[in-house]
Structure 1
Amino acid sequence: MTTDGRAVAVTGLGLITPAGVGRDATWEGVLRGESAAAQDHQLKGLPVDFSCRVPAMTPEQGRIGGGKAWRMGRFSQLAVLAAREAVADAGLDPTTWDGARVAVVIGSGLAGAAHLEEQTLRLQSGADLVSPVLIPMLISNMAAGEVLLDLGARGPSLATETACASGASALAVARDLLLSGACDIAVAGGAEAAISPVVTTGFQRMGALSARTDDPARASRPFADDRDGFVIAEGAAILVLERTEDARARGTRQYAQLAGVGLSSDAHHPTAPAPGGTVAEVALRGAIGGAGLVPADIDHVNAHGTSTPLNDRTEAELIARVLPQGPTVTSAKGVIGHSLGAAGAIEAALTALTIHHSTVPPIANLTTDNLGFPLDCVVDRPRQQTVRAAASHSFGFGGHNVVLVLRAP
């Protein structure tokens, strides 16, 4: 293990997922290992009629305030609420900070696609029924834009779009902004709320979704030998990142340090990964080396673990080849489904919590009897483990590979 190098500190976490509203509720839900998948009335009558939705929020939990919620897409609302939690968790006060030194980077895969679908149906009954705020509800940069407005952050702002790696890409960009000196605080992560009839059917038609309509709660089963696809989900995760020296100077808690980032692109197929994960390996090795580590230093992997036949096999081959020491492996998608562009940020936040609590959550619906690969997957119950360094994998349609290495502070 090495000194800080190019690491940045994770000082605040905000989470809204199907496992629970808020950081603690999500963490507790993931530790229970119980799937959040259920029948979805908005998908009734479709070939796949279930999803993982965020639980209903109390008025206090879901309060945007200021009469602003009506203009926001749901993905932006989730981002704002998660960002508020993350900033408060970091012990920061937006009313007193220098907003010009605060960056916001938030990724989303399908952004406001569900709103576009809804408004397209309205258009069939007349143009005057289409919302005048459709465009800001739709475009993918507005999660970042609404967080900027809410927090009074006037530093660099970006929206990353690398499909299911979007949230992880946002954290990679935010780290670079901090290390370049472009900002002193980065509020970064991912948000997604794209569960709709058309989007869900699109994934179903391409064979990506589980077809277990008779038992949704058992549908998402990462790394199981009888897996048959993912469960579509929504959610948001926002992390507050600071330079390690600044976090120490503030005397604030560090959940973990984002120490290494690896990026690569398959250039193989629009939706399928390169065979054997050979190009994703470049990202994994790059993240490990960028953190000043060697593969043997990785104690844990928070896998992309989609529960699809091809992706899980490819990722399992990657882990076994690059990390033969056998790190523990988990995937939250068994509990919370696949939140698309938010997934990488959610999983990075859970990796930080794994390091902080020395606890690895189990993979839902996976047992030693149906484990399809020779990996040390955590099953049945959480496992206590001191994690010095962990890799969080994110792989997106289009061949985007993003690996984040987090380590203990």
Structure 2
Amino acid sequence: MRRVVVTGMGIVCPLGIGKEEVTMNMKRSVVAVERISSFDASNLPVKIAAEVRHFDPEKYMDKKLARRTDRFVHFALAAFKEALEQSRIDLSVFSEKTAVLVSSGMGGFITLDVENNKFLAGGASKVSPFLIPMLLINMASGIISIEYGLKGINFAPVSACASSGHSIALGAMLIKHGYADVAIVGGAEATIAPLPLAGFASMRALSMRNDEPQKASRPFDVQRDGFVMGEGGAILILESEEIALERKANIIAEIKGFGMNDDAYHMSAPDPDGVGAEKAMRLALEDAKISPRDVQYVSCHATSTPAGDVSEAKAIERVFGSNVFVNSAKALMGHLLGAAAAAETVIGILEMQENFLHAMPNLDEKDPDVKINVVGKEPLSLNIKNFVKNSFGFGGHNVSIVIGRYEG
């Protein structure tokens, strides 16, 4: 069975465009949640979000392609370009053995919102001929392959907020078993638009702290009241160990194992005891052939919802006891939905490289039902050898991935 390593990473998220800016803002404990600026949200119950600001898609693609693709595809292409620059791989050599698995939970929802308004106001003739391809969730994977001539396995795993977690796990699986030599994996999401916000607000999933946006996202805090919508994209380039060594690549990290299952409990609520989450973590550790004692850190899914945070905390406690520290990147940048797992994996690897864990600025009082070691209001210095990334999605989908330092 082949080992799977990471040789490139790219990220666009509310904390910044690119790894350098994101790392700087993590260390500064920046909370990138503000009142919505991209449209008038005054008639919505939720008026806050974590937006990617100052992003120009034409820096990463030509004007025509930018006009004919949705914002989530723009994020994917920008993140991929950064990952490719770091990896320095000549993809033309591996074209037919490069898998592309770039997820989104909801796809081109901004396009849907805009074009539906055109239809309602002016009829069918006003609808863009690019509406359908701009909507499709698989289009980020497709466009990357078209732009770079990649002819290998290509699809977009979709499992709500676990989507890009599945992309990473499945990309690693394809390399392990020899179906691909290289895998471009990750996710992108752009759903900060009136209809998605109205829908999530209607189901009482979003924080309503409109007057205190920077205090709204508060995973594990006793006063949490829902998640904050975020947006962005993140891409990782995975390779088989032998190919990375042969081309003398700089290996950033290793994907050591993964576990995937389902709660089979409820369409949107987690199993309150976290049984599925626990099993996913145990499967990941078993696949990685390490014990819970070998893990120093868990990058939590923790979205700042009342039920989800406690469920995950219970599962982590049963697997790791008090032997790990945990945090959630959503405390700083909100919830990137289908892109969350990929963005948080990139952030976790950056933290592993820098030997620190970012702070949880809004953890004023930890929920008494959360017994695990949550990083507090200040960053924590920690030597990380291995960490676990958890991702969960509506429908009961669970993904846990073990990522570690590469040791040849």
3-state DSSP of counterpart to 2:161: helix
- Residue 53 of structure 2, aligned match among 30, 43, 55: 55
TM-superposition CA deviations, 1:228-272 (whole Å, max 9, x none): 110001010000001122222222222211111101101100000
CA shift for structure 1 position 144: 0.4
Which amino acid letter does the alignment assign opposite residue 18 of structure 2? G
Query: By how many angstroms is 1:44 displaced?
Result: 2.4
Which of 102, 117, 124 is the equivalent residue of 1:106?
102
- CA offsets per residue over residues 329-376 of structure 1, 9 Å max, x none? 011001110010000111111122222222211223124x44542222
Q: How does 1:54-203 map to 2 (within 5 A)?
A: 54-57=52-55, 62-65=59-62, 67-94=64-91, 96-124=92-120, 125-203=122-200
Shift of 1:24: 1.4
Question: Which of the numbers 333, 340, 347 marks the counterpart of 1:336?
Answer: 333
Who is 1:245 aligned against? 242
**1:263-310 residue CA offsets vs partner (Å, 9 max, x unmatched):** 110110000011210111111100011000111211100000100000
Write out aligned runs for 1:349-360 (5 A): 349-360=346-357
Does structure 1 residue 205 correspond to structure 2 residue 205? no
Equivalent position of 1:16 in the other structure? 12
Question: Where does residue 227 of structure 2 map in the other structure?
Answer: 230
Give the secondary-structure state (helix, strand or coil) at the position aligned to 1:68.
helix
Query: Offset of 1:82 from its aligned partner?
Result: 0.7
Q: In the TM superposition, what is the alpha-carbon distance from 1:108 to its structure 2 partner? A: 0.5
| Structure 2 residue matching 1:326: 3-state secondary structure | coil
Equivalence map 1:258-407=2 (5 Å): 258-367=255-364, 369-370=365-366, 372=368, 373-407=370-404
TM-score of the superposition, structure 1-length normalised? 0.95
8 Å Cα contact 1:255/1:353 also seen in 2: no
Query: How much does 1:88 deviate?
Result: 1.1
**How far apart, in 1, do the equivalents of 2:272 and 2:362 lie?**
26
User: Given that residues 7 and 291 in structure 1 are in contact (C-alpha distance below 8 angstroms), is that contact kept between their aligned partners in structure 2?
Assistant: no
Using the TM superposition, give the Cα deviation of residue 59 of structure 1 relative to its aligned residue in structure 2, in angstroms. 7.1
Q: Give the match's secondary structure for 2:273.
A: helix
1: CA distance, partners of 2:109 / 2:57: 25
- In 2, the alpha carbon distance for the partners of 1:152 and 1:89 equals 19
- In the alignment, the residues of structure 2 paired with residue 33 and residue 161 of structure 1 have an alpha-carbon distance, to the nearest angstrom, of 31
Partner of 1:38: 34
Question: Following the alignment from structure 1 to structure 2, what is the Cα–Cα distance between the partners of residues 321 and 309?
Answer: 19
Paired residue type of 2:139 = M
Does residue 27 (structure 1) correspond to residue 18 (structure 2)? The answer is no
Does the CA contact (< 8 Å) of 1:73 and 1:115 recur in 2? yes
C-alpha distance in structure 1 between counterparts of 2:402 and 2:18, whole Å: 24
Go from structure 1 to structure 2 and tell me whether the alpha carbon gap of 1:201 and 1:71 turns closer, same or farther (over 3 Å shift).
Answer: same
Q: CA RMSD in A?
A: 1.5
In the alignment, structure 1 segments of 5+ residues that lack a partner are: none
The residue identity in structure 2 corresponding to 1:366 is L
Q: What is the letter of the counterpart of residue 103 of structure 2? A: G
Contact 1:54 1:235 in 2 (8 A): yes
Q: Residue in 2 aligned with 1:221?
A: 218
SS in 2 for 1:349: helix
- Matches of 2:403 and 2:229, distance apart in 1: 27
- Range with greater deviation from structure 2 (63-72 or 204-213): 63-72
Q: Is the 8 A contact 2:361 2:378 kept in 1?
A: no
Q: Distance in 2 between matches of 1:6 and 1:343?
A: 27
AA partner of residue 235 (structure 1): G
Query: SS state of the match for residue 341, structure 1?
Result: helix
Cα deviation, 1:9-28, whole Å, max 9, x if unaligned, reads 11100000000011211222
Percent identity of paired positions between Structure 1 and Structure 2:
38
Letter in 2 for 1:192: E
The separation in 2 between residues aligned to 1:120 and 1:180, in whole angstroms, is: 44
CA distance in 2, matches of 1:353, 1:107: 21
* 65-74 or 218-227: bigger deviation: 65-74
Residue 6 (structure 1) shift: 5.3
